[in-house]
Amino acid sequence: MSTRRVAITGAGVVSPFGGGVSEFWSALSAGRHAFAPIEGIDLTRLRFSLGAQVRRWDPLAHFDPRDASLLDPFAQFAAVAAREAVASAGIVWTPALRQSSAIVTGSCVGGQSTKDEQFLALYANNSPRINPLTIPRIMENAGASRISLEHGVTGPVFTVSTACSSSNHAIGQAFWMVRSGAVELALAGGSEAVFSLGFLKAWEAMRVVSPDVCRPFSRDRRGLVLGEGAAILVLEPLGAARARGAEVLAEVCGFGMSSDAHHITQPSPAGAARAIRAALADASLPPESIGYINAHGTGTQANDPAETAAIRDVFGPHVSRLAVSSTKSSNIRGGRRANDARHSRDQENTFTDLARRSSTSSVHQARQHGDGQGRAASQNFTDSPLPS
């Protein structure tokens, strides 16, 4: 089996900033955030009010009425992001390419708004029946299926659902498939649409949602802020990309994943460190070769010190020369137990940063924490103590 270098040649985004990749990058590079009062929900029933919603979304601007009725918003987001990714990569579909391509998506919760709507109809309104399209709308693989139908891809098409790591795992699986020669091209990424009352109440019960904004690695951090959207990448062999004259946005060098086997909600530094080491080993890179980390950085009391400890464990003395930031201070979709530095919109930001030779900020940091990750731009680690 061959081992090939893998390039990213296309990207597509649906984000709370509106538009596609260009608008997303412009907002991040300007230090803007997408948090605003949640719309369409009775906020008197919640302890928090802010979210990063895809606002003014019009399905009929992207789908005909029949197709729109078949798709929950999370699947609509995935399909529209995939269209931008394919167009930006300049992919010309042939029967052979369709058969040798893969689609791998990640989604934690699938069609959440559809679930809420139908449960409300059934339990609260005593409806004798629910929408017959409920099952295809709520399935986590609905986004991947729609992308497959639109582009005629008949190779492997599947979805990974592993909580915060779903999209990261999806991109990693796609990378391995392209590198090994199992497929010649892959569309990979993820999507979520989480703004339903039942789902928000469940997050409220976890007591990890910030009452205001998300401040990763800041001394006054108060938790995460929920968001929605999609990001899809095009991955192909580097040699093939160069041969067809495609613009290479980035190269994926390695991927690693692990499980804490520790606690249902509390992160373990050892688990995250194993994933980072696995990615470095897969890429045959020493820790000293890394210059920037796009962190999970949820802004919760538990995650940030655990992630800091994992990074210190892996990178040792080199940690003082690492730049680290988290784009969850702008909009949240995180990956925790898989480290290839490319997870959905987090990954989108990371390789765009590198292509433009800059780093986006972890915004909202009023006070840098003692873990040394808090400058207004990406911050180098210091030898100060970890947060408690």
pLDDT, mean over the chain: 87
What tokens were used for 92? 């010309």
Question: What gap in Å lies between CA 61 and CA 68, rounded to an integer?
Answer: 10
Where do the domains of the chain lie?
7-378
Instruction: pLDDT band for 19, please (50, 70, 90 cuts).
Output: confident
pLDDT attached to residue 97: 98
Q: Which CATH number fits domain 7-378: 3.90.120.10, 3.30.420.40, 3.40.50.300, 3.40.47.10?
A: 3.40.47.10
349 φ/ψ angles, rounded to the nearest 5 degrees: -65, -40
Q: Which helix (H) or strand (E) holds 236?
A: strand 229-237
Mean pLDDT on 25-42? 92
Predicted pLDDT of residue 380: 47
Percent of the chain at pLDDT exceeding 90: 77
Measured between alpha carbons, how far is 330 from 16 in angstroms, rounded to an integer? 10
Reported as a pLDDT band with limits 50, 70 and 90, residue 383 is very low
The string of pLDDT tens digits covering residues 81-140 is 999 999 999 999 999 999 999 999 999 999 999 999 999 999 999 999 999 999 999 999
pLDDT recorded at residue 335: 32
pLDDT (tens digit per residue) in 323-372: 998 888 876 443 333 333 334 455 545 544 444 444 555 666 555 554 44
How high is the pLDDT of residue 357?
A: 41
**Residue matched to tokens 């090994």:** 180
Contacts from 139-142 at CB under 8 Å and sequence distance 24+?
139/110, 139/111, 140/107, 140/108, 140/109, 140/110, 141/105, 141/107, 142/71, 142/72, 142/74, 142/75, 142/110, 142/111
Amino acid at 365: Q
pLDDT of amino acid 330: 74
pTM of the model: 0.87
Is 333:77 a contact under the CB 8 Å cutoff?
no
How far is 49 from 239, CA to CA, in rounded Å?
Answer: 48
Q: What is the mean pLDDT of residues 228-251?
A: 97
Q: In the predicted model, what is the mean pLDDT of residues 3-9?
A: 95
Rounded Cα distance, 210 and 208, in Å: 6
On the question of pLDDT at 23 being above 50, the answer is yes
Q: What is the pLDDT of residues 62-77, one digit of tens each?
A: 999 999 999 999 999 9
Question: Could you tell me the two tokens for 35?
Answer: 């948090």
Percent of the chain topping pLDDT 70 = 85
pLDDT in tens, 250-269: 999 999 999 999 998 889 99
Binned at pLDDT 50, 70 and 90, residue 3 comes out as confident
Q: 169-226 pLDDT, tens per residue?
A: 999 999 999 999 999 999 999 999 999 999 999 999 999 999 999 999 989 999 999 9
Amino acid, single-letter form, for residue 49: S
Q: Crossing angle for the helix pair 112-119 and 197-206, nearest 10 degrees?
A: 110
